Every structure is written in structure tokens, then in C-alpha cells.
């Protein structure tokens, strides 16, 4: 859903009885949301995961986007919830290359530090493609080849440049930087499928990850 006006309460309200568990908040846009299945699998029942994500809204305080007029209000709400619930960990993620103002995430790191959040994780870029991965696979198949399990993103130089900046920002802001590209990609390209079957596709469009 585009231009959300508010977050859905079940996504961020800590369930009764879970107050004593470690609390993790996931904050960002749809590229933050695609980490939820993995985080849930890692955390299991050992921690509470709250999700404050909205499509097209970078986790940047005072971020203004003409086509997403509610982003600033949503980010203010997210920060207020964090101030109220005092989570143990805040995870920030976004499709950073889509936001010219992405270096301003320093404002968010500063605000979280002032709130006393003990650990902030800044997730860098995920692999992105010039067309949807399923379409690129079909093109490969129609040419008589096999559906690839890895592809070379044409955007890789930009993504690496963005990550270099984010890594410095995280270091200077006392946050932990995580680089998905280092896990997704090698010299043969970035992982798009675990096998050549549709069930194994790891990227459902031009960049969003599946729950595989």
C-alpha cells in the first residue's frame, strides 16, 4: 500500500507478557520490510519484533518526499514509539539508492543515540536490477538458456558507493553496519534463486527479497 497514513497497531504493539523479552524494532521502507521473515526466523520466540515500515519512506527524520506526503509524520511516530518502548535494538533499512538525501540518516542515528538506544543496526543496500528478476529469467529461458541462479546487477557501482557512505555514517554514529551485498554477491553475480525452479527464487521483483 502506498502513502500509508499510519502504521497498523499489531505491527508495533508489544504483546502483554512480552515486556521482559529483548525488543527489536525494524524501521524503514519496503526494503526494511523484506527483512522481517529472516529476523523472525533468527529471533524466534526469544525476542519481540516490532515493525515500523512504510513503502517509499526512508527512515530519515524530517524526510520529505512529494509523492509520499506522510513519510515525515510516520517517521516522527516511529521515533516516538521508540522513545516510549525503549527497545534493545533498532534496525534501520531502506532502498537507499532511491533517496538522494540518504546521508541524512545521520539525523536518525543521532536521535536514537540521544534516546539511549543501546544498539542500532544500519543495513546497507540489497542487489537491484534494471528489470524484475522473474522477467530476466524468462528472457534467459526464451533464448534457449537455463534460468540463472546469479545475475550481475547493472547498478552495482552505485550500490557499492552508497554502501561506502553508509558504512562511514554507521561508524561515526556508533551503529553496526551490515552489508547484504557481501552475502548476496560474488564474482559470478548476485544470488537470485536457490535453484532454477520458481519456488527457489530469492528476489520477487527488481530488488525485494522473498521469504525463501
Q: What is the DSSP string of 147-178?
A: PPSEE--TTHHHHHHHHHHHHHHHHHTT-EEE
Low-confidence ranges of the chain (pLDDT < 50): 1-2
Supply the pLDDT for residue 1: 39
Please list, residue by residue across 153-187, b when 16 or more beta carbons sit within 10 angstroms of its beta carbon and e when fewer do. bebbeebeebbeebbebbeebebebbbbbeebbee
Total Cβ atoms within 10 A of residue 71 = 23
Determine the pLDDT at residue 2: 47
Q: Are 122 and 105 in contact (CB under 8 A)?
A: yes
pLDDT score recorded for residue 72: 92
How much is the pTM? Answer: 0.92
- Phi/psi for 122 (5° steps) reads -105, 115
Computed over every residue of the chain, the mean pLDDT equals 90
Amino acid at each position: 500500500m502506498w502513502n500509508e497514513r499510519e502504521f497498523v497497531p499489531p505491527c508495533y504493539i508489544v504483546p502483554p507478557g512480552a515486556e521482559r523479552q529483548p525488543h527489536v524494532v525494524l524501521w524503514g521502507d519496503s526494503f526494511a520490510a523484506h527483512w522481517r521473515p529472516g529476523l523472525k526466523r533468527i529471533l524466534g520466540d526469544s525476542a519481540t519484533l516490532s515493525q515500523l515500515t512504510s513503502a517509499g519512506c526512508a527512515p530519515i527524520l524530517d524526510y520529505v518526499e512529494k509523492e509520499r506526503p506522510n513519510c515525515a509524520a510516520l517517521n516522527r511516530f516511529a521515533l516516538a514509539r521508540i522513545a516510549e518502548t525503549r527497545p534493545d535494538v533498532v534496525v534501520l533499512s531502506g532502498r537507499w539508492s532511491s533517496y538522494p538525501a540518504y546521508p541524512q540518516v545521520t539525523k536518525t542515528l543521532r536521535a536514537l543515540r540521544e534516546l539511549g538506544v543501546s544498539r542500532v543496526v544500519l543495513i546497507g543496500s540489497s542487489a537491484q536490477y534494471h528489470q524484475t528478476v522473474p522477467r530476466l529469467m524468462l528472457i534467459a529461458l526464451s533464448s534457449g538458456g537455463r534460468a540463472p541462479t546469479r545475475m550481475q546487477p547493472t547498478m552495482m557501482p552505485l550500490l557499492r558507493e552508497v554502501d561506502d557512505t553508509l558504512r562511514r555514517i554507521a561508524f561515526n554514529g556508533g551503529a553496526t553496519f551490515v552489508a547484504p551485498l557481501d552475502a548476496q554477491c560474488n564474482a559470478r553475480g548476485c544470488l537470485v534463486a536457490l535453484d532454477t525452479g520458481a519456488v527457489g527464487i530469492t528476489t520477487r521483483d527488481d530488488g525485494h527479497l522473498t521469504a525463501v
